[in-house]
Amino acid sequence: MLLEDDLLLAMDMEEFLAGRGYEVIGPYGRVEDALEALETTEIDGAVVDLNLHGKLSFPVIDRLRCRNLPVIVCSGYAELPELKQKLAGLPLLPKPWNPRKLERLLEDVFEAVPR
């Protein structure tokens, strides 16, 4: 699953993921749409933008974690003190995103998930 509110970035990430053999569900630009997809679609893991038009995506992140699904959090806000504790232990992809960094995270986080 891909959750990203910036359309151009979402398209770039979708192309990047698909080019590496991942089936991309989404991209979704709203927390509500991603939560609905989690209820209706089989998902093996996710790359999730933390801030979607000013709304934090913790409901999606929490639901993924409750299901023990791998998640990579993409954010330019991850170092803020009020978010740092809540993101502890999650793999983070800083924005602007670096394709090599995402590739390393995918290998580390998703390697046990069949594609």
Q: Which residues contact 13 (CB under 8 A, 6 or more apart)?
A: 2, 4, 27, 47, 74, 97, 102
Does residue 38 lie within any of the structural domains?
Answer: yes
Does residue 115 lie within any of the structural domains?
Answer: no
pTM: 0.90
- The pLDDT tens digits along the chain (115 residues) read 999 999 999 999 999 999 999 999 999 999 999 999 999 999 999 999 999 999 999 999 999 999 999 999 998 866 666 777 788 889 999 988 999 999 999 999 987 555 4
The upper half-sphere exposure of residue 103, i.e. CA atoms within 13 Å in the direction of its Cβ, equals 8
CATH of the domain at 35: 3.40.50.2300
Does residue 13 lie within any of the structural domains?
Answer: yes
When divided into structural domains, the chain yields a total of 1
